[in-house]
Amino acid sequence: MFIPSIAAWNIRGYWGILLEIATLPPKGNPISHLCYSLKLIKSSMKNVKWANSSALSKHLETLHKLQYDLLNLLHSDPYNTSIGHKLKEINQNIADHSSLLASWVIQRAKVNWIKYGEDDLKFLYSKIRARSSKKRSFLNLPVLSSQQKFSDGISKTIKHFQELYNPCWNLPRDMPVSLQEKISRIKIYESHSPCLIWDSKFKASFSDFIKDFYNSMPEISWANMLWHHKYALRYSSFTWLSLVGGLKTADALLKRNIVVNPVCSLCNSHIENASHLFFECSYSYSIITGIIYGANGLLFRPNILQLFVWITDSSNFSEEEKKLYLLITCCSVYFIWRERNERRFGNQINSSSTIIKKIKSAVIEKVCRWKNASEMLDLI
């Protein structure tokens, strides 16, 4: 039985043939006339060019060639609207005929499936290979050759697929020949081991990349004291500014020719600078000794770095206690700096005990989230 393709239904010539045969006067009984009409349709379809896939393929090649020519014209004259309209029509025709060809292949495969079953699908596979432009020869299985050893056949099969999937560099055609030759000399090694090694490590992490990026910069000895695991960003940031000269103290403003009162606003007896504010000033020293146990036993009033070193080198503190006291130090820097600004610009004066309460409440809010919060809170 002849099964017309869906691709044929979309062509005007098919309807002309169908109408011409359908209008013929009936002969004999209805069933015999139907069979006779179907035979006429089949014979008529075989005599036209558009009833096979070769005609569609050739027409698609012609359309693609026209599309290529129009694209070249459009590149030379991009503002020509007539070329744009023609290219749009060609693109629509290519889409329609591609759909027709795909429909024809699908319908033909269905017919072969209905007639012969899954044992006769060579036609469909050949069309898929042709559409994919894969013109690779197939391997003959080693078992089909009696003159060849099975192991040799397996090795040849492995070699074939290695060349198929890992052949060589796939470089663009427009690349300079000299550059292609240089790249092609680099061998592509086939190995299961990692192909990238970072600083003698097969599995590098993001921290390794960061360390390598900052490798050329000088190492800061106090960085871990400031940016430890339990640091608070706000307090550590202000402490970092004081260590690198980022706070606008009186001496820093005078160096910029900004006239300000050079005397410390906390003790009113010394020149204000970062080292004096933290914690050589009598006001700030009374605050830090009122919070950190044992700080009043220091021989001299320390600055920030000296206090950091004393905390980290002390054998009387555990690791968690050291992190706590480092956090308290940074928090003290923040609130002492705020008190200095309030005295200079807001005319508000707070006692050292008031600042100590503010520091303790801020530290308690942070420490409450620690695992050993109950032990640490007893030290505050």
Question: Which residues, in sequence order, are bridge partners of residue 198?
Answer: 201
φ and ψ of 326, to 5 deg: -65, -40
Q: Token pair of 137, please?
A: 């020869």
What is the structure's pLDDT at 118? 46
Q: Is 374 helix (H, G, I), strand (E, B) or coil?
A: helix
Q: Model confidence over 37-75: pLDDT tens digits?
A: 888 877 777 666 655 667 777 888 888 888 888 888 877
- What are the domain boundaries of the chain? 6-131, 142-217, 227-377
Q: How confident is the model at residue 3 (pLDDT cuts 50, 70, 90)?
A: very low
How high is the mean pLDDT of the chain?
79
Amino acid at 335: F
What is the structure's pLDDT at 153? 62
DSSP character string of 323-362: HHHHHHHHHHHHHHHHHHHIIIII-----HHHHHHHHHHH
Q: Model confidence over 154-169: pLDDT tens digits?
A: 666 656 655 555 556 7
What is the structure's pLDDT at 203? 79
What is the structure's pLDDT at 160? 60
What is the structure's pLDDT at 356? 95
Q: Model confidence over 111-156: pLDDT tens digits?
A: 555 555 444 445 555 555 555 444 444 444 444 445 556 566 666 6
Q: Model confidence over 241-276: pLDDT tens digits?
A: 999 999 999 999 999 999 999 999 999 999 999 999
Q: What gap in Å lies between CA 240 and CA 122, rounded to an integer?
A: 75
What is the structure's pLDDT at 99? 79
What is the structure's pLDDT at 52? 63
Contact in structure between 207 and 214 (CB atoms under 8 Å): no
Nearest to 23 by CA among 13, 31, 32, 33: 33
What is the structure's pLDDT at 136? 44
Cα 241 from chain centroid? 35
Q: Is 201 helix (H, G, I), strand (E, B) or coil?
A: strand
Q: Residue 259 — left, alpha, or beta (φ > 0 → left; ψ -120 to 50 → alpha)?
A: beta
- Is pTM beyond 0.85? Reply is no
Residues 353-363 have a mean pLDDT of: 95
